[in-house]
Structure 1
Amino acid sequence: MIDITETAAQKVKEIMADNNKENSYLRVYVAGVGCSGPNFGMALDESKTTDDNVIEAHGVTIVADKKFAYYLEDAVIDYVESEHGSGFEIKTSFQSDCGSCCSGCRG
């Protein structure tokens, strides 16, 4: 369903430690879907439900509502650093031909 790189997992663990939330889960959710595909969000969550898929990877427990499984299939959470900045990104197989919601793709 969803995976996390070692780099991203280490960063998540650092954030959890800095915020005294070592026992939290990393919740991944779909924040919206447009013509360019789904927009994802992440948050630290102290609870999980029976409606969640639970994935353990590199010492991080990832939870996501089962209703989002379609969008998160083969997804990978990574942490990237470049000259433009750093941050988390979620890569999925969902790609759009138009690239943005500019109405030009009529999608």
Structure 2
Amino acid sequence: MKSFNRFPLELVIWISALFLLATAAPHTDKSALHLSLCPLANMGFSWCPGCGLGRAITLLFQGEIMGSFRMHWFGIPALGIIGYRIFILSRMEWTSYKTKNLKEKERYYV
């Protein structure tokens, strides 16, 4: 159970989310039927503030900057914010890993 508490869940979720968005096929036509993870879209609502954001990030990964901006203006900043969060979490994990290994080495040499 102790190792489960040490599992970097948030880091894995953000990396997985970006991987899924990077490999997704963008549906630029909002009326097209496609699989959606959006609970509002699945309940039948036609408008959702986040659906265009995911498509904008997908288009951005495929190099379509203007298409991304047209889909949702916050796609580029959102990708930057998520990337920065992944960087911070990775750096925290790396620091924790180095500190743990240093403490183990000190324990063996004392």
Settle same-fold status: TM greater than 0.5.
Answer: no
Which structure: greater strand fraction?
1
Which structure: greater helix fraction?
2
Task: Provide TM-score, normalisation by structure 1.
Answer: 0.22
Task: Provide TM-score, normalisation by structure 2.
Answer: 0.22
Greater relative contact order (Cα 8 A, min sep 6): structure 1 or 2? 1
